[in-house]
Amino acid sequence: MLRPTVKDIAKNAGVSLATVDRVLNGRPGVRKSTIDAVFKTIDEIGYVRDVGAANLARRREYKLVFVLADGDSQSSAAVENKINEIISGPSTERTVLEVIKAPEGDLHKVANILNSLRKKNYDGVAIMAPETPLVRDAILHLKEAGVSVVTLVSDIPDSGRDHYVGIDNVAAGRIAGFLMSRFLGQQGGKVLVTSGSMRLRDSVERRLGFDSYILDKNQPVNALATVEGHDSIEILTNAVSNALLLHPDIRGFYSVGAGIPALLALLRGTERMESAIVIAHDLTPQTREGLENETIDAVIAQNVGHMVRSAIRVLKAVSDGSQIDPAQELIRIDIVLKENLFNWS
Amino acid sequence: MLRPTVKDIAKNAGVSLATVDRVLNGRPGVRKSTIDAVFKTIDEIGYVRDVGAANLARRREYKLVFVLADGDSQSSAAVENKINEIISGPSTERTVLEVIKAPEGDLHKVANILNSLRKKNYDGVAIMAPETPLVRDAILHLKEAGVSVVTLVSDIPDSGRDHYVGIDNVAAGRIAGFLMSRFLGQQGGKVLVTSGSMRLRDSVERRLGFDSYILDKNQPVNALATVEGHDSIEILTNAVSNALLLHPDIRGFYSVGAGIPALLALLRGTERMESAIVIAHDLTPQTREGLENETIDAVIAQNVGHMVRSAIRVLKAVSDGSQIDPAQELIRIDIVLKENLFNWS
DNA sequence: TCCTACATGAGTTACGTACCTCATGTCTAT
DNA sequence: ATAGACATGAGGTACGTAACTCATGTAGGA
């Protein structure tokens, strides 16, 4: 038979349309027993709400905002581009998207922005920001105000966020460990791990995963202490230079976060570049170029388009309390090599 | 301002609602100059049709059918499972899905099935079948009958299909070549390429890509002639056995299509298993297990869930002549290792 | 017994679009 | 000049749901 409608519920349950409507939309004035009866019929006849018609009727518009505030301008730029692509693209189904960028490194500003959002009755907020107590509190407040919240790329646990949209960074680090081991071969060697800043949770988790793989598998890889840039290219460059002098026998480089251009600049031209294995995270113009000219051997990435679309879907679903498809929302860890680079846009 | 509606078009263009409607839905009885004027205003005010409302009004139901007819029961089983998951899942948005499986290897049957679909007024057909003249003609006839058609997993060019939903198999083969070279290391070695059947276009293309990588990059890899199973496990087993006897120094195995269980059964227990590199295609229960117990080193896969959803989206879009988002419909080549196996469901 | 609180029914309007009918206006060919 | 063809306007109904009003029914407490 045709797809059942509210009328079918009313008929089968022996109640009026108005009562069905009250039950479906959680309005008061219905006896418990009647509510149960209605739900029972819904189950029996297999009614599913026509979301299109419902949205039409309630003139629903989802107001969503992306707050981008991580230190690494490259990866948040990729996210921003994707959002703008979606905004300007066709078929923005009852969704109004907005992007707010926080000045790099200013974490008080981030919290202020989040707090200011409470008053503007947004339906959902997607946050890409370092994990700090201020930010965590701001998220808690947003949740109290009834706003849906997801964290993007880097999770902020215990903040009450509804969902984390991004890859499992520990697992990503393990994959880096696997690739590094394989690419270095049986002889293994020293590996330098670099990071733009270890303040972002994802960097820390990736390093953790990398080490745990090396340890678990008992690989002949000697991973040196993380060289950190503290959000400054200069500091990173100096630190890497020192490490290179100190360890002339480094055979591999693993960049867990930003700072790949600085690293490549130091390596370029040296005879080390030829033989060294370089593994990085996130597809940016720089890492893309690195893959193309074979200065980078592998990039561990996440599909930014999928992430942004997933964030939107999840925020909408949380907003109207409907289910999400976990399989569809799982962000996969992608391994990008020169050979499948064309696959990513 | 609010999202513009047909009324806004009418007002701004200085015509009546009826005329706008005639233009939008391509009905006759409108002067060319008026049509142009209407489209001009649509452009100016940025009107986009509310698909939800439109579908509601036209009581549209998309009747789609998946015809699965490849020889490899494993990979079509994965597709079938995904479809059933979607069917039984929530929110089947005005879409009626159906699956028709053709008996393995019976290609006349496949063509018959496709031809019989013409009468049943389906909106779209997704086909996963070998490329034969009969099948190609059947697709041409379907297109003539106004049915949307996409090919799945393995393309059928020159059939007039609207879209191919699947990975670039030549590129997938190249990636296999890259991984094989890397994993074998500088010493290289002999590689046996196996295939359940070379009748499927994807197998041929993968082999092609594999060879072209080895050749282009001048790798020390010696890829032997493809050992084919002609859709029979027994034949494949015998052929592989012979090859193993003939070449005791094989260091790598690349399975471009079905038949991985037979291959692993032969290798298991031999000392060769320890050192040999095995690369396969498609995540099936068998390849998954192989990754887990480390008998398989890498699997080149395609996200089946994404493929099925993409096929549905594309068929719908073609059916009502709307645009698709190429970036969203691009099926990526996934590299699955033991370390990121958990990512795939 | 009557009043009140609450449960329910009946009905209406709106959302944006599709599709239909009927009336009227305008131009062209004869 | 007039018929006929064609272009357009005006208006209605329907789709499935949300949100509302108003009337009626019923049970329990005073």
According to the model, what pLDDT value does residue A220 have? 86
DSSP letter at A193 equals: E
According to the model, what pLDDT value does residue A92 have? 63
B39 part of contact set with chain A, CB < 8 Å: no
Say yes or no: Cβ of A45 under 7 A from any atom of strand D.
Answer: no
CATH 3.20.20.70 fits A169-302, yes or no: no
Neighbours of A14 (CB within 10 A): 11
Q: Which helix (H) or strand (E) holds B280?
A: strand B277-281
Phi, psi of B294 (to 5 degrees): 60, 25
Within chain B, which residue ranges are assigned CATH 1.10.260.40?
6-48
According to the model, what pLDDT value does residue A226 have? 80
Per CATH, the number for B169-301 is: 3.40.50.2300
Can you tell me whether residue A289 is helix, strand or coil?
A: helix
Return d(Cα A82, Cα A308) in angstroms, integer: 7
pLDDT tens digits, one per residue of B246-304: 888 889 999 998 777 777 887 776 766 677 899 999 998 889 999 998 899 999 999 89
Comparison of pLDDT for B245 and B165, the residue scoring more: B165
Which CATH number fits the domain B6-48, given the four candidates 1.10.357.10, 3.40.50.1220, 1.10.260.40, 1.10.287.130? 1.10.260.40
A60 part of contact set with chain B, CB < 8 Å: no
Per CATH, the number for A59-165+304-329 is: 3.40.50.2300
pLDDT tens digits, one per residue of B41-98: 999 988 988 888 998 898 888 889 999 986 666 678 888 998 998 887 655 667 889 9
According to the model, what pLDDT value does residue A279 have? 95
pLDDT tens digits, one per residue of A80-133: 998 998 887 655 667 889 999 887 667 788 899 999 998 888 899 999 988 889
Q: Which of A343, A344, A345 to mutate to test the interface with B (most CBs of B within 10 A)?
A: A343
Across the A:B interface, residue pairs with CB atoms under 8 Å apart total 109
Q: Stretch B308-329: mean pLDDT, rounded?
A: 86
According to the model, what pLDDT value does residue A207 have? 95
Within chain B, which residue ranges are assigned CATH 3.40.50.2300?
58-166+304-330, 169-301
Say yes or no: Cβ of B84 under 7 A from any atom of strand D.
Answer: no
Q: Which of A217, A339, A341 to mutate to test the interface with B (most CBs of B within 10 A)?
A: A339
Mean pLDDT of chain B: 87
pLDDT category at B226 given cuts 50, 70, 90 is confident
A62 part of contact set with chain B, CB < 8 Å: no
**DSSP class per residue in A231-261:** T-HHHHHHHHHHHHHH-TTEEEEEE-SS-HH
According to the model, what pLDDT value does residue B209 have? 95
Cα→Cα distances A230→A227, B278, B332, Å: 9, 42, 35
Return d(Cα A319, Cα A311) in angstroms, integer: 12
Return d(Cα B161, Cα B151) in angstroms, integer: 7
Which of the residues in chain A have pLDDT under 70? 1, 70-74, 89-93, 104-105, 269, 271-273
pLDDT surpasses 70 at B179: yes
Say yes or no: Cβ of A17 under 7 A from any atom of strand C.
Answer: yes
Within chain A, which residue ranges are assigned CATH 3.40.50.2300?
59-165+304-329, 169-302
Beta-strand (E) ranges in chain A? Answer: 62-68, 95-101, 124-128, 148-152, 163-165, 189-195, 221-223, 227-228, 250-255, 277-281, 298-302, 333-336
Place of tokens 């976060």: A257
Neighbours of B289 (CB within 10 A): 14
Distance from CA of B157 to the nearest CA of A (A): 21
Q: Which residues of B80-108 are buried (b: 16+ CB within 10 A; e: fewer)?
A: bebbeebeeeeeeebbebeeeebeebebe
Say yes or no: Cβ of B245 under 7 A from any atom of strand C.
Answer: no
- For B139 and C17, how far is CA from C1' in angstroms? 33
Nucleotide nearest residue A47, measured CA to C1': D16
User: Contact B91/B57 with Cβ under 8 angstroms?
Assistant: no
Closest by CA to B287, choosing from B338, B231, B228, B232, is: B338
A56 part of contact set with chain B, CB < 8 Å: yes
pLDDT tens digits, one per residue of B229-243: 777 778 888 888 888
Can you tell me whether residue A215 is helix, strand or coil?
A: helix
Given this structure, which CATH class describes domain B58-166+304-330?
alpha beta
Chain A residues within an 8 Å CB radius of B185: 185-186
